[in-house]
């Protein structure tokens, strides 16, 4: 960086600036802020292109939309639990007792023009925000983009997802309608089940006995200040690290671990990303305008003695809901105290454990594979079968729990017995994910094998050749060099074998056991993986292909059905179908 | 660890196939054909223009359409505002992307990566500076200073926690009591009307509440002040259910705690506190809509399915001198979700 000071502090910058107004502004700013040094590289920073890199962007843009629409809502929303009698323009609720929070939500929906639009956009954007983070995270996971040096960004991302879910729950609770109050009631039950401190935590949270008159104002502070502030700070850190590490890229011709190939920030990436912001925003506006979400006026104000059948939280709470529902009713009464396993296992321990596994994942994988090098090229999911299969199993578990969270809806929609569904789910979450793991791993391995076949014998052209002796073979054509290179641009796995000899003797017993475990895990991790061909194997295959070619040579120049399609033969004057 | 392949070697050895290098750049039609270029330019400008039109239409709709106007069964204002805003934004987005794809240079450029770590010298220098700082502070040599500082910092956590004490009152025994007491009438939850046993048919379930939530017959204010009603309701809501007396398993209890086959149970689920509402007449089962815990009201409110662990608390009832259902006393156990000191 030292020499950049000298090159940018030119003596007469104003001379070139005359020509272009943008440059004039930039010069004005640089003379005061010295920003040229910092931006000269960043303005043409390279961003590689791939559709899956857009997922994180959707999350970012939906957060911006949440900020904008949220500020609009906060101009009218009144976060108070004070009781009022409704006298607004929604006839069905006239004369009903409700909180000011609920009344102001009705006001936003019916009396503020564009208010309902903004409310619905806010809610849709919240769904999009969390969904996009989740899918973005899966992309990062599947392609190994969390590997060194990006482990911290993985952790930041995980915390962002958690904060997003909390923020969503807080927002969902604000309107103080029957559904949001029911959600809070369940939260109160979860908190109360905390060992030792439960009832105290509940009283401190609600400012007294549930529901009290404090929770909405408190959640409001969390919802519009505390959590968005944290999210904003973490997004900033996420982006800074992204810029520092530079984006990962897919391997391909000219793309290596040591470079990054793509379009410059200014102008191409800026136009694409900026355009994409408007598209996300536009789609959210259309959804907010045309698709009803959370019609709070239909549910009525919160009343702890009422609930509607089929009440459901927002989808991202689905797995917590599912866990709560399928947990058997275990409770221990001992020494005059109550331990509600049925609540704090699914409601507290399970989410915390899940979060820990997610955050620790990069380090767990690193320990198993022993790979502590930097990685900037992405991996194809099939080339890391165990990781891919693990995600497939986790997605299955997520789906099962999610379905369990709607077991009543499943029962009524498909006329099934509710209890049977629940018993089934209790077993299914332990049985089906491992099966999916095995299947997904097999599938990856067969895809790897397919890749290897193509490299060695070319791709299947669909052309059937009949040789002089009357035998039939399918003609294989070689891959293009670019394609072949791309398929082989990944590492050869190295199984961690465990320490041996003097190294192993020096270990204490627990450490030795840990080392053995690690070696076993590493072996299992790579078990069944198909290695890409070696140079020798490729040469041998090419040699073989040449022999084959010689064998076919007498047929060259003779038309065969399908020649027309291989793109490698003169076809002029040939008819598509030959007469026999 | 020696086994980590941390040697800074090329990570993806170009084997078995050499890296063929970046492919050649192929020009797009708009790069070589001025007509195509002009067309793309017009396309982009049209998209931006349409966005402007939509924005203006948004403003027109805002003022021209009434709040209650309906268009083919949909709120017209909502429909118009959502569509015009959506299109105004989408057109800008699509225009910008079209611009970048068709008209901006599409030459890929290459940037080189550097390891995330600083250079060895920089790291050594930074570590030396850190050591120097630690050394100069003497923190290692003066454990007394260090430990007293750590202690002081630790204690600072206390004010931070103590200052939050007034977030709420202590629970005390408030979770163990409800407003029910001897002789309080069990009334309809909608209008506060008292209930006679003969008002209820066999198989019927009535959502009920303590009379203390409603103005008295003489028109006095409810006994429970307005702002406490929700919190009290969250504990005191009940259901009355009338069954064939023979169907009830615990006959002794039915005699002592019920009236002619009418029993009264807490409406608050013992799982995490939803009000329970789905009644199956034939089976005497009561199902919680939140997580489907099912309670058998003919069998002391026993849990027969679902995640709840405890039976539904029962409220002992009788009739008063005027023949209305009243509570014999408060519940004899805490209602609602479990908590540690519940026992
Ligand atoms: C990560 C970000 C956010 C998420 C996931 C989120 C989510 C939600 C949700 C689901 C609701 C319920 C909406 C409904 O009524 O259907 C809500 C309400 C609300 N949000 Fe947010 N929000 C976020 C950020 C913000 C910000 C930054 C603000 C303000 C600066 C804000 C202000 C509000 C207000 C005032 C309400 C209540 C209005 C109403 O319910 O009508 N939100 N939020
Ligand atoms: S609250 Fe009733 S089952 Fe969960």
- At B98-151, the pLDDT tens digits run 999 999 998 999 999 998 999 999 999 999 999 999 999 998 899 999 999 999
Task: Determine how many CB atoms are found less than 10 A away from the CB of residue A539.
Answer: 12
Chain A residue numbers touching B341 (CB-CB < 8 A) = 199, 336-338
Report how far ligand 1's centroid is from the alpha carbon of A69 (Å): 8
Select the residue of B62, B227, B309 nearest A213 (Cβ to Cβ): B227
Question: Are A494 and A488 within 8 A, CB to CB?
Answer: no
For an interface test with B, give the residue of A275, A344, A406, A511 to mutate (most B CBs within 10 A): A275
Structure tokens at A98: 């409700």
Question: How far, in Å, are A108, A435, A440, A443, A470 from residue A392 at the CA level?
Answer: 42, 10, 7, 11, 47
Mean pLDDT value of segment A417-426: 93
| A vs B: CB pairs below 8 A | 355
Q: How far apart are CA A362 and CA A145, in angstroms?
A: 10
Find the residue in B nearest to A497 (Cα): B3
Region of poorest pLDDT, from A150-154, A161-165, B184-188, B249-253: B249-253
Q: CA dist B185 to A15, A362, A486, B268, Å?
A: 92, 63, 80, 19
Find the Cα–Cα–Cα–Cα dihedral B94, B100, B101, B107, rounded to 10°. Answer: -160
What pLDDT does residue B12 have? 63
Phi, psi for residue B114 in degrees, rounded to 5: -130, 150
Least confident stretch, A147-161, A566-580, B46-60? A566-580
pLDDT score recorded for residue A431: 97
Ligand 1 centroid from CA B234, angstroms: 26
* Chain B residues inside the 8 Å CB shell of A212: 168, 231
Q: Which residue has the higher pLDDT, A315 or A167?
A: A167
User: Which domains can be identified in chain A, with CATH numbers?
Assistant: 40-379 (1.20.810.10), 444-553 (no CATH)
Residue pair B286/B298 in contact (Cβ under 8 Å)? The answer is no
Of A257, A275, A343, the CB nearest to B11: A257
| For the ranges A8-17, A158-167, A263-272, the one whose mean pLDDT is highest | A158-167
How far, in Å, is the centroid of ligand 1 from the Cα of A394?
29
Question: What own/partner pairs with CB < 8 Å and gap ≥ 24 does A557-566 have?
Answer: A560/A463, A560/A464, A560/A465, A560/A466, A561/A463, A561/A464, A562/A461, A562/A462, A562/A463, A562/A464, A563/A463, A565/A461, A565/A462, A565/A463, A566/A461, A566/A463, A566/A475, A566/A477
pLDDT of residue B8: 40
For A380-383, the CB contacts below 8 A with 24+ separation are A380/A143, A380/A490, A381/A142, A381/A143, A381/A444, A382/A444, A382/A447, A382/A448, A382/A451, A383/A444, A383/A448, A383/A490
The DSSP bridge pattern shows strands A337-339 and B325-327 to be unpaired
Range in A196-210, B71-85, B229-243 with the lowest mean pLDDT:
B71-85
A 10 A CB-CB count for A466 gives 14
Residue A195 near residue A339, CB atoms below 8 Å: yes
**Across B301-324, average pLDDT:** 95
Cβ of B230 and A279 within 8 Å?
Answer: no
Note whether A483 contacts B: Cβ–Cβ < 8 A.
no
**Secondary structure (DSSP) of A458-486:** -EEEEEEEE-TTS-EEEEEEPPPHHHHHH
- CA distances to A29, A217, B39, B97 from A521, in Å: 57, 50, 60, 47
CA–centroid distance, residue A344 to ligand 1 (Å): 28
Of the pLDDT bands very low, low, confident and very high (cuts 50, 70, 90), residue A16 is very low
Joined together, the tokens standing for residue A349 give 């321990």
Tokens of B114: 């550097």
Element (H, E) at B209: strand B205-210
Residues of A in contact with B188 (CB under 8 A): none
Q: Give the Cα separation of A29 and A36 in Å (integer).
A: 9
- The answer to which of A446-450, A537-541, B88-92, B168-172 has the lowest mean pLDDT is A537-541
Mean pLDDT of A117-139: 98
B290–A200 C-beta distance less than 8 A: no
Residue A395 exposed, middle or buried by CB count within 10 Å (0-12, 13-18, 19+): middle
As a whole number, the mean pLDDT across chain B is 92
Nearest to A198 among B20, B293, B340 (CB): B340
CA A123 to ligand 2 center in whole angstroms: 26
Instruction: Determine, for residues B104 and A204 on separate chains, whether the beta-carbon distance falls below 8 Å.
Output: no
- Residue of B33, B285, B20, B167 lying closest to A485 (CA atoms): B20
- pLDDT score at B9: 44
Question: A325 and B231 in contact by Cβ < 8 A?
Answer: no
Chain mean position to CA A439: 22
Query: Which residues of A fall within a CB distance of 8 Å from B85?
Result: 117, 282, 285, 289
Ligand 2 closest atom vs CA B291 = 3
Q: Is residue B90 packed enough to be buried (19+ CB in 10 Å), middle (13-18) or exposed (0-12)?
A: buried
Q: State whether B231 and A326 contact (CB < 8 Å).
A: no
- Ligand 2 centroid distance, CA of B311 (Å): 12
The pair phi, psi for residue A173, each rounded to 5°, is -80, -20
CA neighbours closer than 13 Å in the CB half-sphere of residue A205: 19
- Give the model's pLDDT for residue B68: 85
B23 HSE (CA, 13 A, CB side): 12
Taking the CA of A234 as reference, the closest ligand is 1
Ligand 2 binding pocket includes B290 (Cβ within 6 Å): yes
CB B274 near ligand 2, within 6 Å: yes
Q: Is the pLDDT at A571 greater than 70, yes or no?
A: no
- Exposure string (b/e) for A238-256, b if CB count within 10 Å is 16 or more? beeeeeebbbbbbbbbbbb
Inter-chain CB proximity A212 and B168 less than 8 Å? yes
Contact check, Cβ <8 Å, B272/A188: yes
The CA B277 to ligand 2 mean position distance, Å, reads 11
Task: Retrieve residue B56's tokens.
Answer: 């203006």
Q: How far, in Å, CA of A306 to CA of A297, rounded?
A: 15
C-alpha closest to that of A455 among A475, A481, A484? A484
Protein residues with CB under 6 Å of any ligand 1 atom: A 63, 66-67, 70-71, 73-74, 77, 105, 108, 119, 122-123, 126, 129, 164, 167-168, 171-172, 174-175, 223-224, 228, 231, 294
**A576 pLDDT band (50/70/90 cuts)?**
very low
Reply yes or no on whether the pLDDT at B242 is more than 90: yes
At B138 the three-state DSSP class reads coil
Decide if pLDDT at B15 tops 50: yes
* Residues with Cβ within 8 Å of residue B194, at least 6 apart in sequence: B185, B186, B187, B188, B211, B324, B325
Angle between helices A54-74 and A115-142 (to 10 degrees): 150
Residue B268, classed as helix, strand or coil, is strand
The C-alpha angle with vertex A558 and arms to A552 and A560, in degrees rounded to 5, equals 85
Residue A579 binned pLDDT confidence (cut-offs 50, 70, 90): very low
Q: What angle do CA B161, B167, B172 make, to 5 degrees?
A: 100
Q: Characterise B3 by phi-psi region: left (phi > 0), alpha (psi -120 to 50), beta (else).
A: alpha
* Element (DSSP H or E) covering residue A363: helix A350-369
Q: How far does the CA of residue A573 sit from the closest CA of chain B (Å)?
A: 31
Give the pLDDT band of residue A510 (cuts 50, 70, 90): confident
Q: What is the DSSP letter of B222?
A: P
The pair phi, psi for residue A496, each rounded to 5°, is: -75, 120
For the cut 50, the answer to whether the pLDDT of residue A438 exceeds it is yes
Rounded to an integer, what distance in angstroms lies between the CA atom of residue A245 and that of residue A152?
A: 11
CA distances from B215 to A86, A306, B195, B231, B324 (A): 20, 21, 16, 18, 17
At A558 the pLDDT is 55
Q: Is A352 helix (H, G, I), strand (E, B) or coil?
A: helix
Q: From residue A413, how far is each of A337, B71, B223, B305 by CA, in Å?
A: 41, 32, 45, 21
Nearest by CB: A307 against B90, B100, B290: B290
Contact call for A311 and B290, based on CB within 8 A:
yes
B200 pLDDT exceeds 90? Answer: yes
Atom number of ligand 2 nearest to Cα A189: 1
To test the contact with chain B by mutation, choose from A203, A206, A252, A305 the residue with the greatest count of B C-beta atoms within 10 A, namely: A305
Interface subset of A 56-115, CB within 8 angstroms of B: 83, 89, 110-111, 113-114
Rounded distance, CA A289 to CA B79, Å? 5
Nearest CB to B273 within list A188, A496, A535: A188
Q: Mean pLDDT over residues B259-284, rounded?
A: 94
Residue of A nearest to B226 (CA): A83
Query: Residue A359 pLDDT > 90, yes or no?
Result: yes
Q: Are A79 and A103 in contact (CB under 8 A)?
A: no
List all residues of chain A from 193 to 232 with a beta carbon under 8 Å from chain B: 193-200, 202-214
- Residue-level pLDDT at A554: 62
Residues linked to residue A460 through DSSP beta bridges, in sequence order: A476
Residues within 8 A of B (CB atoms), A 490-509 only = 490-491, 494, 496, 499, 503
Q: Which of A301, A108, A305, A89 is nearest to A216 (CA)?
A: A301
User: Is the pLDDT score of A169 beyond 60?
Assistant: yes
Q: How confident is the model at residue A200 (pLDDT cuts 50, 70, 90)?
A: very high
Cα B279 to ligand 2 centre (Å): 15
**Of B334, B300, B159, B303, nearest to A192 (Cα)?**
B334
CA distance B13 to A222: 51
Say if residue A550's pLDDT is above 90: no
Mean pLDDT value across residues B156-185: 95
What distance in Å separates residue B144's CA from the closest CA in chain A? 36
> Residue A128: pLDDT band by 50, 70, 90 thresholds?
very high
pLDDT at position B13 is 65
Element (H, E) at B172: none
Run of H or E including A261: strand A259-264
Among A69, A70, A102, A232, residue to substitute to test ligand 1 (most atoms within 8 Å of Cβ): A70
| Length of chain B in terms of residues written | 343
Count CB atoms within 10 A of the CB of residue B159: 9
Query: Using an 8 Å Cβ cutoff, are A378 and A146 in contact?
Result: no
Question: Rounded distance, CA A50 to CA A47, Å?
Answer: 10
Task: Judge whether residue B7 has pLDDT over 60.
Answer: no
Q: Return the closest-CA partner of residue B293 out of B272, B314, B317.
A: B272
| For residue A478, pLDDT beyond 90 | no
Contact A324 B113 (CB under 8 A): no
Buried/exposed B223-236: b ≥16 CB within 10 Å, e otherwise: ebeeebbbbbbbbb
Identify which ligand lies nearest to the alpha carbon of B278. 2
Percent composition of chain B: helix, strand, coil (DSSP 3-state, to 5): 40, 15, 45
Task: Select the residue from B302, B339, B342, B343 to test the A interface by mutation, using most A Cβ atoms within 10 A.
Answer: B339
Q: Tell me: pLDDT of A568 over 80.
A: no
Report the Cα–Cα distance between both ends of chain B, in Å, rounded.
Answer: 52
pTM of structure: 0.91
B289 with A308: Cβ contact below 8 A: yes
pLDDT at A257 over 80: yes
Cβ distance of B22 and A261 shorter than 8 Å: yes
Shortest alpha-carbon distance between residue B73 and chain A (Å): 12
Could you tell me how many residues make up chain A? 580
Mean predicted confidence (pLDDT) in B8-22: 73
Question: Which has more confidence, A549 or A370?
Answer: A370
């Amino acid at each position: 960086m030292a020499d950049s000071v000298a090159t940018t502090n030119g003596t007469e910058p104003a001379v070139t600036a005359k020509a272009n107004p943008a440059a004039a502004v930039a010069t004005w700013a640089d003379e005061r802020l010295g920003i040229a040094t910092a931006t000269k590289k960043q303005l043409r920073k390279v961003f590689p292109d791939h559709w899956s890199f857009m997922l994180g962007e959707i999350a970012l843009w939906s957060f911006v939309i949440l900020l904008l629409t949220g500020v609009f809502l906060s101009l009218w929303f009144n976060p108070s639990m004070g009781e009022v009698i409704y006298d607004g323009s929604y006839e069905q609720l006239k004369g009903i007792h409700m909180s000011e929070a609920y009344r102001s939500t009705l006001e936003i929906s019916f009396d503020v023009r564009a208010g309902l639009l903004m409310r619905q956009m806010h809610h849709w954007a919240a769904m999009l925000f969390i969904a996009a983070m989740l899918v973005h995270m899966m992309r990062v996971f599947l392609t190994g983009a969390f590997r060194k040096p990006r482990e911290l960004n993985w952790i930041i991302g995980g915390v962002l997802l958690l904060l997003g879910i909390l923020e969503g729950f807080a927002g969902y609770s604000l309107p103080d309608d029957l559904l949001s109050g029911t959600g809070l009631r369940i939260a109160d039950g979860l908190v109360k089940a905390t060992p030792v401190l439960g009832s105290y935590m509940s009283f401190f949270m609600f400012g007294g006995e549930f529901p009290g008159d404090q929770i909405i104002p408190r959640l409001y502070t969390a919802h519009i200040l505390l959590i968005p502030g944290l999210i904003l700070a973490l997004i900033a850190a996420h982006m800074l690290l992204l810029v520092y590490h530079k984006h990962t890229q897919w391997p391909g011709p000219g793309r290596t671990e040591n470079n990054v190939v793509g379009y410059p920030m200014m102008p191409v990436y800026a136009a694409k990303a900026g355009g994409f912001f408007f598209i996300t925003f536009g789609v959210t506006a259309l959804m907010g305008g045309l698709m009803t979400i959370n019609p709070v006026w239909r549910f009525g104000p919160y009343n702890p003695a009422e609930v509607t059948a089929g009440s459901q939280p927002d989808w991202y709470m689905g797995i917590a809901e599912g866990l709560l529902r399928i947990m058997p009713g275990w409770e221990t009464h001992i020494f005059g105290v109550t331990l509600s396993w049925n609540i704090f296992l699914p409601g507290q321990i399970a989410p915390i454990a899940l979060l820990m596994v997610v955050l620790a994942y990069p380090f767990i994988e690193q320990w198993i594979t022993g790979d502590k090098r930097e990685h900037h090229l992405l991996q194809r999911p099939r080339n890391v079968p165990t990781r891919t299969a693990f995600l497939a199993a986790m997605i299955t578990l997520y789906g099962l729990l999610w379905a369990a969270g709607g077991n009543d809806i499943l029962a009524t929609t498909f006329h099934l017995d509710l209890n049977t569904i629940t018993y089934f789910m209790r077993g299914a979450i332990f049985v089906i994910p491992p099966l999916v793991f095995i299947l997904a791993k097999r599938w990856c391995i067969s895809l790897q094998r397919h890749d290897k076949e193509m490299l060695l014998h070319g791709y299947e052209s669909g052309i059937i050749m009949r040789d002089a002796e009357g035998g039939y073979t399918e003609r294989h054509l070689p891959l293009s060099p670019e394609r072949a290179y791309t398929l082989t641009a990944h590492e050869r796995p190295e199984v961690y074998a465990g320490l041996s000899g003097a190294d192993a003797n020096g270990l204490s017993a627990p450490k030795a056991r840990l080392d053995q475990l690690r070696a076993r895990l590493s072996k299992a991790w790579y078990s069944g993986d198909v290695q890409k061909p070696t140079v020798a194997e490729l040469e041998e295959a090419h040699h073989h292909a040449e022999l084959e070619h010689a064998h076919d040579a007498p047929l060259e120049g003779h038309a065969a059905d399908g020649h027309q399609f291989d793109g490698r033969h003169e076809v002029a004057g040939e008819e598509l179908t030959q007469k026999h | 660890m020696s086994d980590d392949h941390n040697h800074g070697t090329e990570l993806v050895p170009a084997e078995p196939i050499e890296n063929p290098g970046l492919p050649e750049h192929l020009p797009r039609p708009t790069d070589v054909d001025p007509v195509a270029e002009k067309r793309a330019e017009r396309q982009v400008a049209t998209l931006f223009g349409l966005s402007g039109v939509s924005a203006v239409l948004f403003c027109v709709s805002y003022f021209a359409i009434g709040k209650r106007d309906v268009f083919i069964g949909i709120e017209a204002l909502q429909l118009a505002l959502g569509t015009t805003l959506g299109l105004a934004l989408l057109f800008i987005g699509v225009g910008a992307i079209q611009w970048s794809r068709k008209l901006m240079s599409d030459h890929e450029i290459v940037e080189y990566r550097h390891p995330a770590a600083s250079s060895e010298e920089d790291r050594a220098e930074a570590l030396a500076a850190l050591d120097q700082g630690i050394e100069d502070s003497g923190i290692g040599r003066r454990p007394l200073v260090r430990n007293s500082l750590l202690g002081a910092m630790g204690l600072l956590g206390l004010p931070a926690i103590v200052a939050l004490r007034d977030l709420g009152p202590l629970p005390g025994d408030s979770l163990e009591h409800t407003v029910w007491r001897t002789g309080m009438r069990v009334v309809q939850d909608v209008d506060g009307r008292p209930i006679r046993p003969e008002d209820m048919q066999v198989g019927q379930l009535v959502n009920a509440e303590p009379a203390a939530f409603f103005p008295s017959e003489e028109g006095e204010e409810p006994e429970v002040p307005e702002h406490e009603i929700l919190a009290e309701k969250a504990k005191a809501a009940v259901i009355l259910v009338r069954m064939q007396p023979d169907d009830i398993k615990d006959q002794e209890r039915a005699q002592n705690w019920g009236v002619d086959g009418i029993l009264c149970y807490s409406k608050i689920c013992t799982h995490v506190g939803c009000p329970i509402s789905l009644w199956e007449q034939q089976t005497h089962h009561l199902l919680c809509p939140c997580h489907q815990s099912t309670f058998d009201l003919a069998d002391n409110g026993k849990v027969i399915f679902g995640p709840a662990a405890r039976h539904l608390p029962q409220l002992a009832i009788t009739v008063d001198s005027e023949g209305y259902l009243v509570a014999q006393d408060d519940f004899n156990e805490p209602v609602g979700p479990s908590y540690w000191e519940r026992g």
